[in-house]
Amino acid sequence: MRVKMKQLRESMGFTQRTMGEAIGIERSYYTLIETGERQPSLRVALKIKQVLGYYGDDIFDNTTPDTVISKGRPSRRR
């Protein structure tokens, strides 16, 4: 899930349907982009960023801000 994209959309008061309309794509396709199941074309990606007023590249990351990446092996309890 592209959490940042969803958070920005919701903070602007957009639904997935109104985002799709603003961008010029179907709601179902926008949903697939937001959930990370599809990659948007460059044109669509730029339009999403324009509508949301956000120009950072991390909007399309499939991670949450709270995601922690651990290094090494998990410990085993005995």
Yes or no: say if 34 and 6 are a contact pair by the CB < 8 Å rule: yes
Query: What pLDDT, on the 0 to 100 scale, is given for residue 64?
Result: 54
Query: What pLDDT, on the 0 to 100 scale, is given for residue 72?
Result: 41
Q: Which amino acid is at 68?
A: V
Query: What pLDDT, on the 0 to 100 scale, is given for residue 12?
Result: 95
Yes or no: say if 52 and 12 are a contact pair by the CB < 8 Å rule: yes
Total domains in the chain come to 1
Q: Does the predicted model carry a pTM greater than 0.85?
A: no
Query: What pLDDT, on the 0 to 100 scale, is given for residue 63?
Result: 66
pLDDT tens series, the chain, 78 aa:
899 999 999 999 999 999 999 999 999 999 999 999 999 999 999 999 999 999 888 888 886 554 433 334 444 444
- Answer whether residue 52 is part of any domain: yes
Q: Domain residues for 20?
A: 3-60
- Answer whether residue 67 is part of any domain: no
Yes or no: say if 18 and 48 are a contact pair by the CB < 8 Å rule: no
Chain Cα centroid distance, residue 66? 15
